[in-house]
Amino acid sequence: MIGKIFKNGILAAVALAALASTAEAGGYSRGEADTDILFESGDFIFRAGATYVSPRRTFKTTGGTTNHDGVYTNDYWIPSVAAKIGVSENFACALTYTQPFGVDATYGADVRAAQITAGNNPYSDKGFETNEYGATCDVKFDAGAGKLHLLGGVFVQDFSYTAMVEAGGALPAGRFHLEDDAALGYRIGAAYEITEYALRVSLMYRSKVDHEADEGDFSFVHPLAGPVVLPATGYGTLPQSLKLSAQTGVAPGWLIYGSVKWTDWSVLDALNYDIGGASDQDVYNWKDGWTLQAGVAHVFNEKLTGTVNLTWDSGVSTGADIHGDTVTLGAGILAKVGPGDLRFGGGISHMSSGSQSILKGATFDATGGGGWAYGVTGSYKISF
């Protein structure tokens, strides 16, 4: 029965780990490519799903006074699509799609007033998103009692940044947009598994991605000249990461699992941009982030499996924003429904408070109110 946990793909429910990062902890992390599909039984497998997250982050004070704006982080969806193609008994490839990074915020009157007081243009809305399209292959060999997997592949990642600027600083009110259609990255890894004991240890590296937006613009309406569009460019780096994952059966129908992930958020010190010849930047000054997860899974019967996990994600702020640590409790089920497998789960995250200051790179002084984030995730898998 222990090996059956693995064969049934119970660790598909570990996708709940994404909820730890989708609460805006650990920088701007969101989804992970579903490369775990390579370890599942079957020559042709297709899985598609999505995660919905509602982060409830607030400011406690802005500019030294009490903030009354309420929640400023917007809800969002994270899609995930993966297809495994088994070329031979020991060679398979997976095509994947997800949104690995992003943020979306709407700022109230108190935040905008603090930005103006500090001499900056206020933003009413601000955010960016990325899309990753990847191909990862797996070559496996007999090694002792189990199999050794060598994994590698490439991905293309795009980047789109939009900010609604209001008057109050050096710029007129308008829309600022940056876009990079395609930047190349890669992932490599290795794993060892003994299916009989549902044992697997894997290490996966994902490269950093350098984005250069050469065809951006800033559009506004001039009181005399009418609509005006200024050229804009920008550049920044989204981080590399390294993740160590492990699982093992411990008793008939029971499995424990865990992971440690390092993300090189210190590489993103700022998003640098140029509008009509004038240079500026969004400062982050982040430190590296760590994500730790531990969980347990249990097979109830041939059609139903459940899992519970706990995740801690370190805050990456050094004082330029209010984001702190996040702790997430997640739970999920995997059920045989129709011709395939249905995964469904949810999680609740507590986001600790932090503080930011102009002296440390922030555009205004503020303290955070902490908050909660809620998420649900679901997907469906069909094997041929």
Q: What is the pLDDT of residue 277?
A: 83
pLDDT band per the 50, 70, 90 thresholds, residue 26: low
Distance CA 27, CA 16 (A): 18
Taking alpha carbons only, the member of 91, 201, 193, 189 closest to residue 146 is: 193
Taking alpha carbons only, the member of 57, 72, 151 closest to residue 115 is: 72
Most confident region among 178-192, 313-327, 357-371 by mean pLDDT: 178-192
* Mean pLDDT value across residues 99-121: 93
Distance CA 69, CA 78 (A): 26
The dihedrals phi and psi of 21, each to the nearest 5 degrees, come to -95, -25
Q: How many helices (H) and strands (E) does the chain have?
A: 3, 21
Across 341-360, b (16+ Cβ under 10 Å) vs e yields bbbbbbbebebebbbbebee
Taking alpha carbons only, the member of 260, 334, 266 closest to residue 297 is: 334
Q: What is the pLDDT of residue 324?
A: 85
DSSP one-letter string for 276-298: TTEEEEEE--PPPEEEEEEEEEE
What sign does the dihedral 46-50-350-113 (CA atoms) show? positive
Distance CA 58, CA 73 (A): 8
Out of 5-19, 217-231, 333-347, which region has the weakest mean confidence (pLDDT)? 5-19
pLDDT in tens, 123-141: 999 999 999 999 999 999 9
CATH of domain 2-383: 2.40.160.60
Out of 15-24, 87-96, 261-270, which region has the weakest mean confidence (pLDDT)? 15-24
Work out the mean pLDDT of the chain and round it to a whole number.
90
DSSP one-letter string for 250-278: EETTEEEEEEEEEE-GGG-SEEEEEETTE
